[in-house]
Amino acid sequence: MGLLFMLLPQEAANQNFINVLVEKFNEGGDFMWPVLICLVLGLAIAFERIITLNLADINTRKFLMEVKKALDEGGIEAAIEVCARTRGPVAAVFQAGLLRAHEGIDAVEKAIISYGSIEMSFLERGLVWLSLFISLAPMLGFLGTVVGMVVAFDAIEQAGDISPSLVARGIKIALLTTVGGLIVAIILQVFYNYCVSKIDRLVTEMEEAALELIDSLVLLQQGKPVLREEQKATPSQESGS
């Protein structure tokens, strides 16, 4: 927003921002419309991903303690019930692994790996389109720049004279489309990086929790308690952390 005001004349900066924005958009020519479409579609995908990722994010440590407690008190079936009533990819992967627990630890590991890949693909769904709009917006802006310069040189050729008033329109189109494409790409890049960092954290938590689940199933098969005594005594402290 500040960058746009720097590029505008001082008297325009004192006007209403929305009116100035619409005015400069119209002056940018036809190539401003595909740039705007990239922004609208990119933001729609970004907001959908952010909402989905936030809904998928749970307190993994608390959930893991609940599963371990269920394994100690009720066995595999009780742990599956805990997973079934918990949202998110971690619970889905846990449930897939626990459903194969009667087949052995190797089957649990294979199920976790397979369903982990599926859940990861669900988390990353739509990001390829967001990445496309990040690349497409500045390219459309640069294309508008080239078209604007062609318009400017056509005006010079027809007039047979180099006059600032002749080339001003073409140069203005070139500059405005470039600025529009770059601003759209910057905005979408911020959302893209946020989504990627969120997915990386969710996947890391999923992998760490899956390893602990396998260790817990090994202890359960050996007839040992899954939760240590100090963990049983302070479940609320761990869940609140």
- How do residues 173-206 score in pLDDT, each as one tens digit? 778 888 889 999 999 999 999 999 999 999 998 9
Measured CA to CA, the distance from residue 184 to residue 10 in angstroms comes to 23
More confident residue, 155 or 135: 135
CA distances from 42 to 1, 30, 57, 182, 186 (A): 18, 19, 22, 14, 11
Residue boundaries of the structural domains of the chain: 12-224
Measured CA to CA, the distance from residue 87 to residue 11 in angstroms comes to 54
Task: Tell me the pLDDT band of 23, cut-offs 50, 70 and 90.
Answer: confident
pLDDT at position 232, please? 54
pLDDT at position 16, please? 75
Contact (CB, 8 A) for 57 and 204: no
Measured CA to CA, the distance from residue 154 to residue 167 in angstroms comes to 9
* Mean predicted lDDT score pLDDT of the chain: 81
- Compute the 3-state secondary structure of the chain and give helix, strand, coil in percent, each to the nearest 5: 85, 0, 15
Measured CA to CA, the distance from residue 83 to residue 63 in angstroms comes to 8
Measured CA to CA, the distance from residue 203 to residue 113 in angstroms comes to 12
DSSP 103: G
Q: Looking at mean pLDDT, say which of 13-22, 40-49, 74-83, 139-148 comes out highest.
A: 40-49
Measured CA to CA, the distance from residue 180 to residue 182 in angstroms comes to 6
pLDDT at position 240, please? 42
pLDDT at position 47, please? 95
Tens of pLDDT, residues 24-59: 777 777 788 899 999 999 999 999 999 999 988 888
Tens of pLDDT, residues 143-173: 888 887 777 777 777 776 666 766 676 677 7
